[in-house]
Each structure stands twice: as structure tokens, then as C-alpha cells.
Amino acid sequence: MRQSSLVVVANRLPIDDSVAPDGACEWRRSPGGLVSALHTLLRHTPATWVGWAGGTGTAPALPDVDGVRMHTVPLSAEDLRDHYEGFANATLWPLYHDSVEQPEYHRRWWEAYQRVNQRFAEATADVAEEGAVVWVQDYHLQLVPGLLRALRPDLRIGFFLHVPFPPPELFMQLPRRAELLRGMLGADLVGFQRAQAAHNFAQLVAKVLGVPATDRRIAVDDRVVRIGAFPVSIDTVEMGALATRPDVVDRASRLRRDLGSPDHVVLSVDRMDYTKGIEQRLKAYSELLADGHVKVRDSVLVQVAVPSRERVGQYQILRDRVEREVGRINGEFGRVGEPAIHYLTQPFDRAELAALYRVADVMAVTPLRDGMNLVAKEYVAARVDDSGALLLSEFAGAAAELSEAYLVNPHDLEGLKQGLLAALRASPDDTRTRMRAMRAHLHEHDIRAWARSYLSALDDSGSLLTRLGAT
Ligand code: ADP
Ligand code: F6P
């Protein structure tokens, strides 16, 4: 078994299998914030990525991707149902996102969560060199740090949560709350997107486990676990370069023409997820059309909503409702050849996304709750001429950094409509000043800065950073 000195452990590998039209199996980058962040970072690093390849049954042997070794962990159909679709995405995901949908609690799901976390811990123990740094990602694998420490006490273990960590009032609902906290405390460093999340965690550790904790350090047995906020980011330079590529510039012009050369293009790009506020946004847009504040010939909304977690009931219900609403709005307000909303559910490559960002005069990112939201950051990075308005939910982690965006509360329909109108009607001077400030922030706080701050806190020797080329 080949071993590595840096091992990233995430539920999902950075590639998805898909069958090409000619029947061949091809691999493509899976949509989602975690993959977007880490894929860029690890490219050409002699690291191993431990994760699930997206199917069930025997784990396929995968080739290295951009120099990174892929180590697959198999999931059975039952694991998929009870771990991924169950405990991870129907218990933890809604609970951690303000319970915007009701979390479900089933003992069978918890058993699967433990079993799959154990399998990930064992797979990681197999591929980690003596003294390696292991970086465990996200809510699917909260028990892995503790389980891995029991198997391999020689490792330096980091854990990073990409999603929000909820306040005690919500987390306390979890039947197995103590075990989850103990699992995370198996790490040397527990990272969150926001300082509030670290604070919530410290409070819960004190309350549930009776262990004194500050927002920075927790003494567990004979170890100190550090905690802190490390807001994740994007490869700002790469997105800027992509957005200026001649083929992407041409593609953006063609897209605008294909959209009927409207005065305003409003764009939203989301996974089809109830946390993203898609229904609220459609309602706001529909009311603006009905009020006559927005006219079909002048403005067009492009809603990209790539299907996600398609077998989870709440996601199926959402997709049906969104599609019905898009149909209703187009039926009511569209004209022949001029739909009010262009609705796309396809995964796009990075160049197509960059062209879409280029063409969007207003980017509407209005989740009800989001750990960070990298789409908002990608849009800003793609606006190389400092034009364009970002309409951003106060409840996205990104709002703490991109405070010059047009900030809205997506639960407030009137506020959402006013925010969208303000973004549509903003003067070029105003949008330019705001965009410049946000772009300057992202140039400093990019994905490498994120890795630098997290990994230097995890591995104070600095050797890891040098190998990553992140210094
Ligand atoms: P989440 O992690 O909840 O999915 P983020 O906004 O943080 O939300 O990250 C989403 C990532 O997935 C972004 O990098 C975005 O570019 C990518 N993405 C979203 N929709 C698509 C799509 N249709 N095709 C390809 N990539 C997509
Ligand atoms: O960023 C949150 C997150 O859940 C990631 O962990 C995940 O990879 C991404 O969204 C996409 O979700 P999924 O892996 O369920 O398709």
C-alpha cells in the first residue's frame, strides 16, 4: 500500500463518474464547495485523498488525478441510504442549517454513521505515513478524528467543518450529541468557517461533556485541542484568468445574445438544495414581474440548479416545487422566445461557469443559511473589470467578508425584492466601488491563504506548507 505524508479525508472524491455519449466512462469534477476548495489546492501535491467515488458496491481503483492519489472507500446501498442520505443529509445537514427543514432522527442511521466513519478511519490509517498530517473534512466524518487517533496516535489530525456549526439550542436535539463532540475532539485542530461556530462548539463541549473550553483551546485528557475560524476561499487568480480567456469572453458575448441581449442578466448558481433559498428568490422575482418593476424584455433570470442528493425526500419535494414554479412564472410572464427564467440543471465545466459569471449584471446568492458559499466568491473573482452587483444573503458565511455586497435577509420577501431592485438599479460608480473592495479582499484571502492559516496552525513545523507550495 502506497503511503503519504499528507492525507485528505472527505466523504466525496473530487471526481464523479459519468458515462460519455459513446459509452466510455469519464471522470469530471463533482459540484460542491468542498471539492472546489480542495481540488485546486492539492493539485500536483504528493497527497492522498480518501473518499467515496459516488456509487455503491466495490470501490473502483482510480488513477491519480492531477498528481493526487485517489483512495476509494466503498459504500454499500445500505450505507448510502443510512449514512449519506440518512444521518449526514437528513439529520445533520438540516439541523446544522437552522433546521430550515425538519431533521430526522433514526437509530439505524446513527449505526450506519458510526460504521462508515470507522471504515474511513481504517482506510486513512492504511495510507498515512508514520507521523503524517491528516486533514478530515466536513459533517459526514465527525467521528473520524477520534477513531483515527485510537488507531494511529502518531498522526497529526486536523478537522474542518465546511458547513455552519449550530447554536446549542439546536445541537442539543441530537440524540448522540456527546459522541459527535468527542469524535471531533480527537483532532489537534478543529476549524470552522466563522468565529461564532467555534464559540458554539466551545459552549457545547462545556455543557455536554463538562470539559472547560474557551473559543481557542480545549484541554482533553493530556492533549490540547485548538479551535478557530478559517473562512474557506477560492483560487481567485485562476478564476480571474479563466474569465479573461478569449474563448470565455466570446462565449459570454454569445450567451448574452442568446438571452436576447437584455439590459440586465440576473444569475443564480446553486446545488438544488433547500438551504439555498431558491424558492424564496423565485417568489421575489415573480412578484417583481407582477408589480411591473421588472420587465421580461429588459431583464432575464438565469437559474442554474444542479440536482443534488436526489434520493432524499426533501430534495425531491424541492425540485418538484422549483420546477412547477419556474413553469408557472414562464407561463404567466414569458413570451414566445422570451422566457422570464432560463432554468438549467446541468453540471457545467469551469469555463462555462466563468462565462456565465461574466454575463451576469447581478449575481443573486440568497441562501437561508450557508457555511460559506463559494459561488459568491467565484462571481467576484470573475468580474475582472470591477462591474457587476452581488446580491448576498446575510446568512451566508461569505457575508462576513464580502460586506460591500448588497446584503439581504432572504426570509424577508419585501427586503429581498428591494435588495434585488437596488442591485438592478445601482449606478455603475456604486457597483464599481463595492466590487473593487470585494476583489481586493479576495486577492488577499484566497484558497492558499486559507490553507496557509489552517495548516500552519495544525503543523507548526512549517514543513507541510513548504511541500504544498502554499507559503
Ligand atoms: P455547496 O458547497 O453547498 O455546494 P458552494 O457555493 O460553496 O456551495 O460551492 C458550490 C461549488 O459548486 C462552486 O464551486 C460552484 O462553482 C460549483 N457548482 C455549482 N453549480 C455547478 C454546476 N451546475 N456545474 C458545475 N459546478 C457547479
Ligand atoms: O460544502 C458542503 C457540502 O456538503 C460538501 O461537503 C459536499 O461535498 C458538497 O456540499 C456537495 O454535496 P454532496 O457531496 O452531497 O454532493
Residue nearest to atom 18 of ligand 1 (CA): 31
Residues 14-30 pLDDT 10s: 876 543 444 444 445 67
User: What's the sign of the alpha-carbon dihedral 228, 235, 401, 362?
Assistant: negative
Residues 419-448 pLDDT 10s: 999 999 999 999 999 999 999 999 999 999
Task: Determine the pLDDT at residue 32.
Answer: 74
**pTM of the entire structure?**
0.95
Neighbouring C-beta atoms of residue 41, cutoff 10 Å:
20
Task: Determine the pLDDT at residue 66.
Answer: 79
Residue nearest to atom 8 of ligand 1 (CA): 33
Task: Determine the pLDDT at residue 469.
Answer: 58
Task: Determine the pLDDT at residue 323.
Answer: 98
Concatenating the DSSP letter of every residue in 412-425 gives -HHHHHHHHHHHHH
Residue 317 clears pLDDT 90, i.e. is over it: yes
Name the pLDDT band for 37 (thresholds 50, 70, 90). Answer: confident
Q: Tell me which of 42 and 447 has the higher pLDDT.
A: 447
Residue 55 clears pLDDT 70, i.e. is over it: yes
Task: Determine the pLDDT at residue 460.
Answer: 76
Task: Give residue 271 CA to ligand 2 midpoint distance, Å.
Answer: 9
Neighbouring C-beta atoms of residue 25, cutoff 10 Å:
9
Grid cell of 369 as nine digits: 443559511
Grid cell of 230 as nine digits: 478559517
Residue 375 clears pLDDT 70, i.e. is over it: yes
Q: Ligand 2 pocket test: which of 135, 138, 139, 311 has the largest number of ligand atoms within 8 Å of its C-beta? A: 138
What are the residue ranges spanned by the domains of the chain? 6-232+447-470, 236-444
Q: Tell me which of 301 and 2 has the higher pLDDT.
A: 301
CA–CA distance, 109 with 87 (Å, rounded to integer) = 5
Name the pLDDT band for 468 (thresholds 50, 70, 90). Answer: low
**CATH classification for the domain delimited by 6-232+447-470, as one of 3.40.30.10, 3.30.1490.20, 3.40.50.2000, 3.40.50.300:** 3.40.50.2000
Q: Ligand 1 pocket test: which of 15, 161, 271, 401 has the largest number of ligand atoms within 8 Å of its C-beta? A: 271
Residues 6 or more apart whose Cβ sits within 8 Å of residue 377 = 233, 234, 236, 398, 402, 442
Task: Give residue 291 CA to ligand 1 midpoint distance, Å.
Answer: 32
- Collapsing DSSP states into helix, strand and coil, what is residue 338? strand
Which atom from ligand 1 is nearest to the alpha carbon of 162? 2
Catalytic residue among 370, 445, 446, 459: 370
Average pLDDT over residues 158-171: 98
Question: Which ligand approaches the C-alpha of residue 276 most closely?
Answer: 1
Task: Determine the pLDDT at residue 28.
Answer: 59
Range with the poorest average pLDDT among 18-27, 90-99, 197-206, 329-338:
18-27
Task: Determine the pLDDT at residue 60.
Answer: 82
Average pLDDT over residues 98-111: 98
Domains 6-232+447-470 and 236-444 share a fold: yes
Task: Give residue 125 CA to ligand 1 midpoint distance, Å.
Answer: 30
Task: Give residue 392 CA to ligand 1 midpoint distance, Å.
Answer: 16
Range with the poorest average pLDDT among 63-67, 327-331, 364-368, 449-453:
63-67
Could you confirm whether 199 is annotated as catalytic?
Answer: no
Assigned CATH class of 236-444: alpha beta
Could you confirm whether 270 is annotated as catalytic?
Answer: no
